[in-house]
Amino acid sequence: MFEVALSSLWSRRGSVLLTVASLTISMVIVIGVEHIRAQAESSFVRTISNVDLLVGARTSQINLLLYSVFRIGNATNNIRWESYEDIATRSEVSWSIPLSLGDSHQGYRVLGTNLQYFEHFRYGDSQELQFSEGQPFSAVLHAVLGSGVANSLGYELGKEIVLSHGIGNTSFVNHENLPFTVSGILAPTGTPVDRTIHVSLQGIEAIHLGWQNGAQVAALGLEPEDPRLEDLQPTQITAMLLGLETPMAVFGLQRAINNYPREPLTAILPAVALGELWQIIGTLEGLLSIISILVLTASLLGLSTMLLSSLRERSRELALYRAIGARPSFILLIIELEALSLTLISVFMSYLLVVAGLALTQSWLSENFALVIEVWPTAPSIWLYIGGAIAASAALSLIPASIAYSRSLGHVLRSA
Amino acid sequence: MSIISIENMRYTWPKSESPALDISGLSVGQGETVFLRGASGSGKSTLLGLLAGTLTVQSGTLKVLDTELSSLSPRERDSFRANHIGIVFQQFNLIPFLTVASNLRLAGSFSGEPRRDFREKSENLLQALNLDLGLLQRRADTLSVGQQQRVAIARALINDPELLLADEPTSALDTDTRDTFMRLLMSIRDVSDCTMIFASHDRSLMKYFDTEIELSEFNRVKKGKSSRV
């Protein structure tokens, strides 16, 4: 019976191949969209972990999350260094990481921070940052590269880099007087850390001496060997990450920071903000899923149409099965089997196409978008979609199959 | 035992007002070869359809192998046809995209009993029909029309049917091939003792058969109307 169905399909390979192509493409869309959605969600939720509070200047929860964690957009305002020290030394606070953003190198964001960052920053399932080469910065003009930066710019330890003022791929204002030396390169994390260049807060301070409001007003730059570099004190930062002694203290401290008397601040719970942000993105993804399901439905209808229109040319073949003793159910099964074979072939091919496509673009995606996408789609929802597609093809091809069935009930002996 | 016995049988096509066949009595004994003659539209194919069980009579009795076909369920009729009746058509006897071997195996599979000696059986039949065994692996639609019709006989006989129905099997053949075909068809009686009903309008073939039935002599329906065949 399989032989009959497959040979029959092969004998009509022209229209069959077109149908398989259409089904395959739509399955690629379905599997691809669902896989990237699932991966993006997990990659998204993995960006930051174990941080109890994220503090920035007064702004919206999502904006703070975007600029401080995802390095998207800009801070509306800064936090004074005194406020940071004040909050960081509170008794509830176990550790704190200051973050200072605003400069870039070749389009990659530069993050000013301190050594706490390498000690306390966590992503994924509480994973620590690992160095693939080198070590954290030990001098003011040292830099630690995320793996994506090092990879795509081809930088190695000891490389001197010049930071640019502001963000963007092409900045006309460079801090050329103070080049930084690469002291370490981090292992890949699949988070925005991969696209970040980390330097010390003093380093950030150093390159901005003599700058006001984004313009160089005095040529009072420092030289790399200047002993004053070590004594620099940061005056402001963009945001801070706080880890608390006890999780119970989160809401109390959050309220205290939100009502901070000396300057307007916002403290958010990263997990809550991530969830809220994901909901916004999730709506778009729901839409994508719906579109991919509609595309698949159209292809499955195309499959049914192909089978239905083949019934006319196959009337004598189907009559012959009956004449040599086949039951009408055999006719029904043959058509169903043909539909299912085509769907299975398409599912198989589309899966391989998605895998091949991702294998080819994986490094590009991770370098350019810090999207770490697994090559093999294994999310449960994907199996659900595949199962659904097979079930739907069986259901939709019942239309031609039952038409063939009811025709074969009648007088079928005359095949000439 | 009579292989076919018909009494007061009447068949009317759906959506037709007058019957197409009305036969008061007809009987064919075992091993007989019957030439069923009749002009086009005389109801030959309708009668074959009734004998094969793809049509069922509305009144009277039509027994094949002492089985009243109209009393069987559709499923039983299909199985009865697979096991007891072989059919050869004018053309399109084989599934074109399957090999000869697959065509034979498919027909064999509908009998419901897997045959162990299937391969031997098909080779014997092909040899009896003077066909090269190499044809087994060829796709049916690559065979000549004459070869296809001979494979069709093998296909019809694969389940050892008691009754072989042939509906104008030679009309697509030229004279030479037709004679070869007829000689081989008759020679299968050496390997099979089946009863044969051979419907044709070609009187020249009559000489091959034991008996002749002129359908218009049995059919009480007047011709010229309701001829849907």
Give residue B127's pLDDT: 87
Give residue B20's pLDDT: 83
Q: The whole model's pTM is what?
A: 0.75
Tens digits of residue pLDDT in A328-385: 889 999 999 999 999 999 999 999 999 999 889 887 776 666 667 788 888 888 899 9
User: Domain map of chain A by residue range?
Assistant: 2-44+281-409, 53-268
Structure tokens at A129: 């940052």
Contact assessment for residue B14 and residue B49, using Cβ atoms and an 8 Å cutoff: no
Give residue B226's pLDDT: 45
Structural domains of chain B sorted by starting position, each given as residue range(s) with its CATH number in brackets: 2-218 (3.40.50.300)
Measured CB to CB, residues of chain B less than 8 Å from chain A are 45, 48-49, 52, 54-55, 74-75, 78-79, 81-83, 87, 89-98, 102, 106-107, 109-111, 155-156, 159, 167-168, 229
Tens digits of residue pLDDT in B17-43: 888 888 888 889 888 899 998 877 778
Tens digits of residue pLDDT in B73-84: 888 888 899 999
Give residue A225's pLDDT: 63
What is the share, in percent, of chain B residues with pLDDT greater than 70? Answer: 95
Helices (H) and strands (E) in chain A, counts: 13, 17
* Sites in chain A below the pLDDT cut of 70: 167-173, 210-230, 366-371, 410-416
Give residue A221's pLDDT: 55
Of the candidates A8, A316, A413, the beta carbon closest to that of B54 is on A413
The span from the CA of A257 to the CA of A96, in Å, is: 14
Whether A7 and B107 lie within 8 Å, measured CB to CB: no
Distances (CA, A) of A111 to A97, A286, A360, B165: 11, 34, 30, 90
β-bridge partners, A11:
none
Which value does ipTM take for this structure? 0.87
Give residue A106's pLDDT: 85
Those residues whose C-beta lies under 8 Å from the C-beta of residue A266, and which sit 6 or more positions away, are A55, A56, A57, A58, A59, A60, A61, A64, A257, A258
Task: Read off the pLDDT of each residue in B49-54 and give the average, rounded to a whole number.
Answer: 87
pLDDT band at B2 (very low <50, low <70, confident <90, very high): confident
Q: Does A6 touch chain B (CB under 8 A)?
A: no
Phi, psi of B15 (to 5 degrees): 70, 10
Give residue B227's pLDDT: 44
The span from the CA of A306 to the CA of A319, in Å, is: 19
What is the largest distance, in Å, between two alpha-carbon atoms of chain B?
51
Tens digits of residue pLDDT in B55-73: 888 888 899 998 898 899 8
pLDDT at B228 exceeding the cut of 50: no
Give residue A194's pLDDT: 87
B13 vs A396 pLDDT, higher one: A396
CB pairs under 8 A between A and B: 89
B113 vs A201 pLDDT, higher one: A201
The span from the CA of A408 to the CA of A327, in Å, is: 9
